[in-house]
Chains A and B, each alone.
Chain A
């Protein structure tokens, strides 16, 4: 929601992402502001613990990182809104002492393969090497999928 105070719009974004992730993990989210002034800076949200972090069911893990800046929604209104500039959402499954990647949603326009895409990491090599195009994917929709399709409990009490 656009706001007239840039710090308020950043706080709202951080809180929204935090509440979304709290539905599937208790891992603490970190925020790197990327500059002294929020105007023109690119902020980064990432888990503070080494990721992937375990989800509540312990069988699955998630690596999450997101970069964003703030733009004025329109020249006339001069309200600020958050503009997501890229993300990596990686879903992993526990295997012994480690994790095996299942799939990842990537959007990193400053790096190779600039369009939003999906990686499947299991199956035929042709598939696992592919960058399958997607639209922009929100962390909220990924969390919904993890709850609905992967059976991650949204209960906040870790097992």
Chain B
């Protein structure tokens, strides 16, 4: 018998580097209206300083950026 826990996909799907980069790009566009590359450039230039944590959406994207 299949338990309820198995009724939905419950595996963790591994992402390739390309898939993760695409996810990062989509997140930047959805959260901040800019591409992933544009976000990285702005982050590195200090555009979001001094407190990026107070700007909605920035840290969610920055956190993923750490894994690129």
Contacts and interface: CB of A to CB of B under 8 A. Distances in A.
The reply to whether chain A is a binding partner of chain B is: yes
Interface of A: 14-15, 17-19, 22, 26, 28-34, 42, 44-46, 48, 50-51, 63, 65, 67, 86, 88, 90, 101, 106, 108, 110-113, 119, 121, 129, 131, 156-157
A30 B14 CA distance: 6
B37 interface: no
Interface of B: 4-5, 7-15, 17, 19-20, 23, 26-27, 30, 51-54, 56, 59-60, 62-64, 66-67
Contacts of B54: 129
Which secondary structure dominates where chain B touches chain A? helix
A106 B59 contact: yes
19 contacts: A14-B12, A15-B12, A18-B11, A19-B5, A22-B8, A26-B8, A30-B13, A30-B15, A31-B14, A32-B67, A42-B66, A48-B23, A50-B26, A86-B66, A88-B59, A108-B62, A108-B66, A156-B4, A157-B7
